Structure 1
């Protein structure tokens, strides 16, 4: 699409929508398009305005008489109707005026019914204007401070971190700390928009109004709930010249284990009790370990005899600070520093797997062993041990200069046939690169192939850990043409 075609599309979409409004009886003035929405609760006059990003952003609808429409979670701070959720922006369906007006009518019908089966979004933040303070305020488990005073202290990266604190007698102009109070609003059916809305819900014995006017309290953290869901918002408060109290929203978030694990996926709770051994934590193995932890696995054993070299870094999980360290210790430290797993839950073995006894021990002590060595002897050793113990391993390797990978479930499940042998399909580069100390040329595998293969390996590993395998034998993928070949 050329720029001219883009402009024509935008102009046509606007004209088409406005023609639909005219047919529906709307008239245009300087503010937008005025018309009446007839619904079971009566008739409501509204103003429809096409925003600057239309048609890629839905029109804005505001009741002419803002007070004629009950306040609810389905209205914006400026009184506009909250019509379309962020996850309903596909298809640009609102460019058809009849469909859009039907949606607006449905909004009023739901409002008249009291919003039955309402989705409990925890978006109280949008009902307060943002503060000029751009620091990020982090709080931990707020149940530790029930109706209590707290202190936010400056930290690195422009952060303010919460901590317990006694109620301040007076403020200090030299202190960089900010004192606050944690209040519980309970179940919030109608979102507050001002200090008056908030103070009516707070225990009056605390007398926060007086403390705010004396500048001894600058921050109020509000805990609230909607149905079975709990939320929190951090507000900046200060007295106004007219005797009121102003409120602004601070950027804030939870720094808790629950918040850090919430985006790990639906299988994370099942994975937390599993123990996984990863043999080989080079490029592929290091990212396998990382994705396993991010997915919820909390108990690991890492096994590798190698150290981190400068040339490893472009394809490895760890950074320059790890050069010279053993790969297992470097990967462990990386995971600890990121906070995804406790150090006590990671066992490191900084030598190669060479004995059957050690292979048997790994398989016996872990729910799954993942082999990322791409070493035939190690793979065969683990495979034989797994078959003798009636266990399974996942063995992953990148092949053909990074243009393909294979993931084997060994032995295959349910008596399935193993994947067929791989064949070399890529010519060697005209000028191979060698590194001192290496008898083989440097692999041309690109970083993206490593990460893609690691993600696929973890998918198979997770499937086995939760007893929902993806495939009985594994998977091969040709990355050069994007063709997936799974073998029965």
Structure 2
């Protein structure tokens, strides 16, 4: 929207009773008080100020309430600068409802009516917006919601970026007459559960009211610079939330400001893992080959919920591996399974059930034992010998849904990504093999005997994601994917790999559902 479009937008307001001084629009908004049984609804006319600022029209104009026109207690959905928060979600500028002046005024009227009603059913838990942000100390406050004890002062641990609220209770009763008997009796956090929030906390007085009988003690410790953080647990609209506050006494009173906070509990750290997380958690999965594809397959499985994981590879990580590997330069010289484990522990330290084995799969007995010991074995070796051993073990056992081998590879320099699931189910077949091409020139690394594939890092990650989908399909028993799924990223000279996109052994083409 250019300036001429904004001008046309402004020109619609005079017909709605607004005046325009070239910067701000002033005018009426009619709204109705929520209905009361046996009484007719009362209509009011509010006056508002509308300011299309620098972010308009890509964001709503700023709207301030000048006069509500009737009795109204302002509580939620108002910003720290006293502008109304009218839309919580993002809109494309082409569809933005605030570009229609009548829709904008209807939204303001709805805001007034919901405010008068106390925002019934609203579960917005963003109480930080009603407070100043802690500009001089931007550290994030971390806590484990499952270990917090309310109405207690606990120790904090901090660094340059975070403040961690520990679960070690500090007995503040030994702080008397303004003296701290212990050097650790400083920079404590007070934890409180204030129940259902009916209005925002904007000042120390609001906070003291929420702290109830503990307010005097907490205030005393704040003035002594003992308590510097307060963590409030609360509910709103049935949703549980927390608000972290930095508190300090500056001689005139207690000042509070909001900090960004985050829960470190397992449930919070895994809620983005996807719907298969629960199904994957206790399923034993082995990955043979922790090179490029295997390392990212391990990461995706771990992020998706897998915790009983065995990583197998005989090789050390080389500098040249890093460009396509999950691990980085810190892990040069490490056995690849150990390097992958270290990367997983940086995602979630709960890696006690991850086993690392520096070994090469060389016999059918080893392959059979591995398949029998795991629900899924992912073959990411790119080795004809290892893949043949695992395929033979899967076929020999023919254990159906009890033990499955998922073989993943990148072929033709990463232009075809392929995943085969073994053994096949009754009536299933596989896509034909895609012969390797003879290269006139081969990439070679000094000190490394094997040729280097020019497969791109993007193809490696895409192959790992394809393997993940097949594993999840098997573990969740959805079984919507056939025995072979291939992603043709560049058409080849052999059907059915001559068409761009996904091809499967059930003869379907296009996107895999």
Tell me if both proteins adopt one fold, taking TM over 0.5 as the criterion.
yes
Asked if 1:411 is matched to 2:423, the reply is: yes
- Aligned to 1:459, which of 460, 469, 484? 469
Q: Could you tell me which residue of structure 2 aligns to residue 135 of structure 1?
A: 139
Aligned equivalents of 2:54 and 2:118: distance in 1? 32
The answer to whether 1:485 aligns with 2:494 is: no
Q: 1:362 aligns with which of 363, 370, 382?
A: 370
Offset of residue 285 of structure 1: 0.2
Q: Which residue of 1 aligns with 2:458?
A: 448
| Distance across 1 between alignment mates of 2:143 and 2:51 | 39
Distance apart, 1:297 and its partner CA: 0.8
Q: In the TM superposition, what are the counterparts of 1:275-314 in structure 2 within 5 Å?
A: 275-314=284-323
User: Shift in Å at residue 315 of structure 1?
Assistant: 0.8
Paired residue secondary structure (1:149):
strand
Name the stretch that deviates more: 97-106 or 216-225.
97-106
Deviation digits for residues 406-438 of structure 1, max 9, x if unmatched? 11222344523312322558x84x753212454
Name the SS for the 2:50 alignment partner.
strand
Structure 1 residue 292 displacement after superposition: 0.7
User: Which residue is equivalent to 1:61?
Assistant: 63
Q: Distance in 2 between matches of 1:396 and 1:385?
A: 16
The aligned residue for residue 111 of structure 2 is 107
- Say whether 1:400 aligns with 2:404: no
Query: How much has 1:396 moved relative to structure 2?
Result: 0.8
What is the CA–CA distance in structure 2 between the aligned matches of 1:144 and 1:318, rounded to whole Å? 35
**2:510 match:** none
The CA distance in 2 between the partners of 1:109 and 1:135, in whole Å, is 38
Q: Distance in 2 between matches of 1:474 and 1:100?
A: 53
Distance (whole Å) between structure 2 residues aligned to residue 345 and residue 301 of structure 1: 8
Shift of the alpha carbon at 1:222? 1.2
Offset at 1:341?
4.9
Please give the secondary structure, in 2, of the residue aligned with 1:407.
strand
Q: How do 1:53-132 residues align onto structure 2 when only pairs under 5 Å count?
A: 53-65=55-67, 69-88=72-91, 91-118=95-122, 120-131=123-134, 132=136
Q: Deviations over 1:329-375 (max 9, x none)?
A: 22122222x04253420112221223333333323332211111122
Q: Summarize deviations over 1:117-156 as a string: whole Å, max 9, x none.
A: 32x232111111111212222222364332001222333x
Q: Is the 8 A contact 1:171 1:216 kept in 2?
A: no
- 2-side partners of 1:485 and 1:423: how far apart? 18
Deviates more, 1:67-76 or 1:180-189: 67-76
1:321-400 alignment to 2 at 5 Å?
321-336=330-345, 338-387=346-395, 388-390=398-400, 391-400=403-412
Name 2:281's counterpart in structure 1: 272
| Distance in structure 2 (CA, Å) of the matches to 1:17 and 1:177 | 56
What does residue 3 of structure 1 align with? none
- What RMSD in Å do the two structures reach over aligned CA positions? 2.8
Counterpart residue number, 1:260: 269
Change (3 A) 1:479 1:171: farther
Deviation at 1:299, TM superposition (A): 0.8
Query: Residues 424 and 160 (structure 1 numbering): CA distance in 2 closer, same or farther, change over 3 Å?
Result: same
Alignment match of 2:233 (pick from 215, 223, 226): 223
| Alpha-carbon shift at residue 15 of structure 1 (Å) | 1.9
CA contact (8 A) 1:154 1:176 kept: no
**Counterpart Cα distance in 2 of 1:138 and 1:222:** 13
1:296 positional shift: 0.9
* Alignment-derived partner of residue 166 in structure 1: 171
- Indicate how the Cα distance of structure 1 residues 364 and 441 shifts in structure 2: closer, same or farther if over 3 A, else same: closer
Find the partner of 1:50 among 33, 45, 52: 52
Deviation at 1:12, TM superposition (A): 3.3
Q: Which moved more, 1:83-92 or 1:188-197?
A: 83-92
Q: Label 1:377 to 1:431 Cα distance change in 2 as closer, same or farther (>3 A).
A: closer
The separation in 2 between residues aligned to 1:276 and 1:76, in whole angstroms, is 49
Distance in structure 2 (CA, Å) of the matches to 1:176 and 1:414: 69
Contact 1:153 1:176 in 2 (8 A): no
For the residue of structure 2 that corresponds to 1:77, the secondary structure is: coil
- 1:95–1:349: structure 2 CA closer, same or farther, 3 Å change rule? same
Report the CA distance between 1:229 and its aligned residue.
2.5
Gaps of 5+ in 2: 34-43, 492-498, 507-513
Change (3 A) 1:295 1:87: farther
Distance 1:286 1:176, change over 3 A: farther
Distance between the aligned counterparts of 1:178 and 1:341, measured in 2? Answer: 27
Assess if the C-alpha contact under 8 Å between 1:139 and 1:162 holds in 2: yes
Given the superposition, is the C-alpha separation of residues 28 and 469 from structure 1 closer, same or farther in structure 2, using an over 3 Å criterion? farther
**Could you tell me whether the CA contact under 8 Å between 2:186 and 2:226 is conserved in 1?**
no
CA distance in 2, matches of 1:20, 1:459: 53
TM-score with structure 2 length normalisation? 0.84
| 1:159, distance to aligned residue in structure 2 (A) | 2.5
8 Å Cα contact 1:153-1:177 kept in structure 2: no
Rounded Cα–Cα distance in structure 2 between residues aligned with 1:364 and 1:453: 25
Name the CA distance, whole Å, in 2 between partners of 1:363 and 1:12. 69
Structure 1 residues 384 and 71, CA gap change in structure 2 (3 angstroms)? farther
User: 1:357 & 1:341 partners in 2: Cα distance?
Assistant: 33
How many residues end up aligned between the 2 structures? 474
Instruction: Spell out, residue by residue over 1:455-486, the C-alpha distance to the aligned partner (whole angstroms, 9 max, x if none).
Output: 22212211221122351223212234793222
Alignment of 1:220-259 (within 5 A): 220-242=230-252, 244-259=253-268
